[in-house]
Chains A and B, each alone.
Chain A
Amino acid sequence: MNLNYEHLPVIIVALLLLAAFLEPIVYRHKKSWAAPLVIASMAFFALSSLYLMAAVNYHGPFNYYLGGWAPPFGIELEIDYLAVFLLLTFSVIGLIAIVYGLQDLKHGLKDEVLGWYFTLYLLLMASMAGISVTNDLFNMYVFVEISAISACAIISIKESRECIEASLKYLILSTLGSGCILLATAMLYMITGHLNIGYLNDVLPRVMSHYPNNILISLGFFVVGYGVKAALFPLHVWLPDAHTAAPSPSSAVLSGLVIKVYAAAFLKVFLKAYPREIFLEIPVMEIVLFLSVLAILYGSIVAMVQEDIKKMLAYSSIAQIGYVFLGFSLMGQRAVAGGLLHIFNHAMMKSMLFLAAGIIIYSTGIRRIRDMKGLGVKLPLTMGAFTIGALSMVGIPGTNGFISKWQLALGALDLGRPIIVVVILLSSLLNCLYYMPIVINAFFGVKGEPELEIGKVPGVMLYSILFLGFGIIFFGIYPAPLLAFLQKTVTAIL
């Protein structure tokens, strides 16, 4: 059978959207089918991403014209290495999180909103898939809006006071960010007449000198717009509340994937749409670099003093998104590869840590870090996985966190910036200072049997974090294929 894989990206997005809107109906009439439907769509997403990755790896990247309309008029999807890399990351982590979430959500959510939750989740996934594959700025904006709104709704789905507060804050800031992105897109459209990234890249060098103000304003708006959405340092203010308030599987997805998709969109816009010489003249990447360094230090320092484990993880995410932007803004081969690698690695680590925290909250109700003494004896596998994640965050070799740090540090040194290495190492030490005490207290903090009441942990939750923990170790010891793939990705971009 000759399966024409070129239609697959559109099918993914369309199918996820369809499933999303079917979900409430199904949930209303056939409650038991709702969960299998969401799992099936996510599994389809993951499998077809895997298939696409294999196909692109084998046949090379391809472009797809939506409805057969060629680019200047139609929407173009570009399925290059970057797109399949992102698709695979999002789909696999998304699948794991929702498989885990089925148990956790029944526990944490009201019965009648569960169907809506699935809708929102699939919408979010569809929009992330869309952002990954689209090659059209306006189309990208549309998906960005969809994902922002569905993420907001996911945060507020618990309907508690802090959830609604957090999601309101997120909604307003992210709407402002969307506005910035739209304005920037308009600025580019105004001078080039194109929205297609490839065409922009062709036309911009010619018109750049005529309309410098448009270029500058669009750059500024893009930085701030995507900065807000990806929680780059001074614009991160919405993140801790939002990611703490959401249910654990959502936190895992929001922290592990959603902020990354905007970073990836940032990469697409800045390195694919704008001509490279622009960054030699305009220090916009320097600004981003500076902000990301601040993010790394600030996130780690503030995470040190948090009492709530999810809040600590959220602050840690701010630091980690700093790594991603650090890699992108350095614009070297190895540095960008490091940033992309960190998208993948951090997606695994952080979602695993959030899911592990979710298990802890699920089975003991403990959220405060200082109450976690002796948890390692009671929940050995969960805390073992948490330990792996913590070690990976610190960057102990043998975990994938080390590989990211290695790539980023060497990328920085390639460009003659040893100070970045100091920042990376310092942040590793800070990570050690706030992750290790949790692990140590959990395993060695209590003499004898700890007095904790532990509920039963569903196997599916445990297996999903163990799977992620295994992934962390696996990609820490054997990252070679991934690195080779990223090498291809980066060569195609730069």
Chain B
Amino acid sequence: MNLAAVTAGETARIYHIWPVILPLIPLAGGILVFALGRLSKRIYPLLSFLVTLVTLLSTAGLYPLVKQGDLYCQLPKFMAVGLSFRVDLLSFIFALLVSLAWCVVTLFSLPYMRQEKYSLTYFVFLLFTLAGNLGVMVTGDWVTFFLFFELMTVASYVLVIQNRTDEAMHAGMYTLVLGIAGGLVLLGGVFLLHSLAGHVQISPMMLALQGVPAWSLATILICFMVGFGIKAGMIPLHVWMPRAYGASPAIVNAFSSGAMVKAGIYGIIRIVLLVFTPADMAAKEAFHFAASAGYVIIWLGLITMVFGALMALLQNHAMRLLSYSSISQMGYIIVAIGSAAYLFGLEEAMGFSGAVFHAINHTLYKVSFFLIFAIIFYHTGEYRLDRLGGLWRKFPLLMVFFLLSFGAISGLPLLNGYASKTLIHDALLEAHHYYHTFDIYLAERLFVLGSAFTFCYYAKLFYCTFLGPLPEKYNVNYHTSFLMYLPLALLAAGIILLGIWPNIFIENYLLPAASQFQFYRGGIEHLTGFHFFSEAPLNASATIFLLAVLLALIGFRFRFFWWKPPANLSVEKIVLQPVVSFLYRMLTHLGPKTDNAINSFYYKIASDFLALCRVVGQMDSSLDSFYENSSRKAYQIVEKSRNLEDSLVDAYDRSSKGAYQLIERGQLVDESLNEAYDLSSMKAYRLMEKSRQLDESLNSAYESSGRAAKNIYDKTAKMDNALNMAYERSGKAAKELIVPGKDSTQTSKRKSKVSSSFKINPMEWNIKNLNFDTLLLAIMLGIVFFVLFFFR
């Protein structure tokens, strides 16, 4: 391809529907497979392979179009801001890479999945995940990107839990939650970008973002880096990777490491090298932010790379070792992206090409590693390195493939890893060349060290798997399907071809892709005809190998590689798990705690109210009965006093009758006196001589009248006594009236006893909440009024 034609001007934009169709193929295929899978068990694996093959072919078929310019397609009516799809060369390369990896591994899983139990869900979700993964590569704006990113996260969950063991379920949940959390952080970045730049197209935005404070830009970048970093396994966001890889089958890991992780890398390239650049090359100062971000990213990458390699050295589980290896390799790519950003306006094409090239190479050899171990597991059922060994006798062909990939990943010249590593290394050297700072020098040295570690842990993996004594139980004849070797052979061919002729690939694909970015044209031209097999890179490679062999010898000699670090010595255990468990505990306990607190508050209020009610009730009832009794007594008093009155009236009556009798008697006496006087005057006149006799009779009359008067007196005194007695009795009755007061309290006590035996449990009686709720309403009203009046 003519490079000058591309670099000369703006790339053409071609409206084409195909980018939309591309992710829809596996999506529709997945639905089809699901529908057919219920009918027949034979067809669907083959069908899903065909779908991936069609996807691959239609992706590859885009090349003639992509060569002419960007393909774009917009569906403005869909989703919130419209979906837009765009395929430029970089998208094309990644899309091809992803669909290739997917196709190859699906081919491999045809024989592999034959015995698996959940193969239908596996094939269906494999296609869905492919749709998400491919969609990520062909989108033109971040919302559409996010759509497919989330589709990939959710669909790949089902792949992770393929084994359905408890470990797998936990790892899957962990992955899903982290993936969705990462997606949401990413979405936050998209929101910020939309509000600051006004659109979310995946295009250079730095001009639209001019004048935005650096911390806002940094926030956006951090959001994006966290979102992508989780997917790409950037330390310290890698924690899901060893867990998920350790729990899921090797082919799923091949998908994950070969293709899905690349979605994160692709995103990082897009955000760092495209979005944070100005659309116009001339605006040099607008590169500053990207350059300083690049510096940080270099170090993030280095930490990821070295730490990943160190952790890989110490693993005993092949899948976990390979997962750390993937993390470490992602570190290489992130270093390359960082150095590209760091060298903006200078030699960014070198880092860019290194990153993309390394992503491709990593897919090639990492997928073959995973497939090799898938075959080994298929036959032996074992991933643990201390239980394996001596397998070269049984699988000589596998060993050849392994050695090929081993050479490629450790950067042996004439294999593909060498070329991309050389590019990355040179990018670091260029950075040192331009800035001359010690830390970049240090970075370059660390890079070398990391590469040496890479060699070491693969040497360990090789030694433990293929060399050494063969365990007795594996000493049987294995039959491996031809279909299992075919994908490995394809990958090996890729490794060798890219290794021998890296320039052809770089000049025909990577540099045109780079020229669609806002890169310095000079840097791109420098890469044309880059001498991979010249002295300097070969020397560097030799240094790495010497160091690596030395380290490996030391490691093997003193068995450093078999040192098992204490389980607590990991980022996950030290930082993440406590944080997550703390957060989780806080979140899950906060709810019940608040609920409990509110409940106990309710109960407290309710029981207090109840107690209050009870006391008031008691008081009430005792008062009631008191009133009742007293009124009864009063009634009794009234009745008694009425009796008393009656008796009094009676007494008066009687006494008046007595008095009447008295008077009558007095009258009688008077009469008799008159008679006596009459008689006496008559007798005195007539019977003077009988005066003595008369005198005597008079005397006796006086005497009897006196006696009668005394009688009357006695009777009145008796009546008086009776009155007194009556009064006394009524007084006693009144006294009794006070005494029954005591009696009435006793009865009220009895009543209250009865009422307390009639139990009211506030737990069952929901009146509590009502109290509280109404109270709450009042409080709210109060608060609202307070605030309103306060701020008036």
Given contacts A304-B591, A396-B154, A410-B191, contact A238 B785 (CB under 8 A): no
Contact in complex: A304, B154 (CB < 8 Å): no
Contacts of B769 in A (CB 8 A): 169, 237
Q: Report which residue of A220, A223, A413, A436 has the largest number of chain B beta carbons within 10 angstroms of its beta carbon.
A: A220
Contact in complex: B191, A421 (CB < 8 Å): yes
Contacts of B787 in A (CB 8 A): 283, 287
Given contacts A302-B591, A477-B78, contact A282 B788 (CB under 8 A): yes
CB distance from B217 to the nearest CB of A (A): 14
CB distance from B55 to the nearest CB of A (A): 20
Given contacts A217-B785, A235-B780, A432-B177, contact A410 B184 (CB under 8 A): no
Flag whether A173 is at the interface (Cβ < 8 A). Answer: yes
CB distance from B126 to the nearest CB of A (A): 16
Contact in complex: A394, B80 (CB < 8 Å): no
Contacts of B187 in A (CB 8 A): 409, 425
Given contacts A224-B781, A409-B191, A425-B184, contact A237 B587 (CB under 8 A): no
| Stretch among B392-400, B488-496, B771-779 lining the A interface | B771-779
Question: A403-447, CB under 8 A of B: which get 1 and which 0?
Answer: 100110110011000100110010011101100110010001001
Flag whether A321 is at the interface (Cβ < 8 A). Answer: no
The chain B residue sitting closest to A391, CB to CB, is: B154
Contact in complex: A173, B773 (CB < 8 Å): yes
Main secondary structure of the interface of B (DSSP, over half): helix
Contact in complex: B194, A413 (CB < 8 Å): yes
Contact in complex: A397, B147 (CB < 8 Å): yes
Flag whether B150 is at the interface (Cβ < 8 A). Answer: yes
Q: Which residues of B from 185 to 244 have beta carbons under 8 Å from A?
A: 185, 187-188, 191-192, 194-195
Contacts of A477 in B (CB 8 A): 78-79
Contacts of A466 in B (CB 8 A): none
Contact in complex: B79, A397 (CB < 8 Å): yes
Which residue of A180, A396, A429, A483 is within 8 Å of B150 (Cβ)? A396
Flag whether B594 is at the interface (Cβ < 8 A). Answer: yes
Contacts of B781 in A (CB 8 A): 180, 220-221, 224
The chain A residue sitting closest to B118, CB to CB, is: A444
The chain B residue sitting closest to A216, CB to CB, is: B788
Which residue of B79, B151, B587, B770 is within 8 Å of A403 (Cβ)? B79
Q: Which residues of B from 61 to 94 have beta carbons under 8 Å from A?
A: 76-82
Contact in complex: A305, B592 (CB < 8 Å): yes
Which residue of A304, A418, A422, A436 is within 8 Å of B587 (Cβ)? A304
The chain A residue sitting closest to B589, CB to CB, is: A305
- Interface residues contributed by chain B, number (CB under 8 Å): 56
Contacts of A304 in B (CB 8 A): 587-588, 591
Flag whether B255 is at the interface (Cβ < 8 A). Answer: no
- Interface residues contributed by chain A, number (CB under 8 Å): 67
CB distance from B156 to the nearest CB of A (A): 14
Kindly state the separation between the CA atoms of A223 and B780 in the bound complex, as whole angstroms. 9
Main secondary structure of the interface of A (DSSP, over half): helix
Question: B156-195, CB under 8 A of A: which get 1 and which 0?
Answer: 0110010010000100110011001100110110011011
Contact in complex: B158, A444 (CB < 8 Å): yes
Contacts of A238 in B (CB 8 A): 773
Contact in complex: A305, B588 (CB < 8 Å): yes
Contact in complex: B191, A284 (CB < 8 Å): no
The chain A residue sitting closest to B587, CB to CB, is: A301
Question: B759-791, CB under 8 A of A: which get 1 and which 0?
Answer: 000000010011011101100110011011101
Contact in complex: A410, B784 (CB < 8 Å): no
Q: Which residues of A from 212 to 227 have beta carbons under 8 Å from B?
A: 212, 216-217, 219-221, 223-224, 227
The chain B residue sitting closest to A177, CB to CB, is: B777
Flag whether B401 is at the interface (Cβ < 8 A). Answer: no
Contacts of B150 in A (CB 8 A): 396-398
Kindly state the separation between the CA atoms of A421 and B190 in the bound complex, as whole angstroms. 11
Contact in complex: B195, A410 (CB < 8 Å): yes
Contacts of B281 in A (CB 8 A): none
CB distance from A308 to the nearest CB of B (A): 13
Contact in complex: B774, A176 (CB < 8 Å): yes
Contact in complex: A478, B78 (CB < 8 Å): yes
CB distance from B182 to the nearest CB of A (A): 10
Contacts of B266 in A (CB 8 A): none
Kindly state the separation between the CA atoms of A308 and B776 in the bound complex, as whole angstroms. 26
The chain B residue sitting closest to A427, CB to CB, is: B184
CB distance from A138 to the nearest CB of B (A): 21
* 15 extra interface residue pairs, beta carbon distance < 8 Å, beyond A224-B777, A235-B780, A304-B587: A168-B766, A172-B773, A216-B788, A219-B784, A220-B788, A234-B776, A235-B773, A237-B769, A282-B788, A304-B588, A396-B150, A397-B146, A402-B79, A410-B194, A436-B180
- B residues with CB within 8 A of A: 76-82, 143, 146-147, 150-151, 154, 157-158, 161, 164, 169, 172-173, 176-177, 180-181, 184-185, 187-188, 191-192, 194-195, 587-588, 590-592, 594-595, 766, 769-770, 772-774, 776-777, 780-781, 784-785, 787-789, 791-792
Please name the 9 residue pairs, one residue from A and one from B, whose CB atoms are nearest each other, closest first: A413-B195, A397-B147, A480-B77, A406-B80, A220-B784, A305-B591, A302-B591, A425-B184, A165-B766
A-B contact pairs, 5 of them (CB 8 A): A220-B784, A237-B772, A397-B147, A410-B191, A480-B77
- A residues with CB within 8 A of B: 165, 168-169, 172-173, 176-177, 180, 212, 216-217, 219-221, 223-224, 227-228, 234-235, 237-238, 281-284, 287, 298, 301-305, 391, 394-398, 402-403, 406-407, 409-410, 413-414, 418, 421-422, 425, 428-430, 432-433, 436-437, 440, 444, 447, 476-480, 483
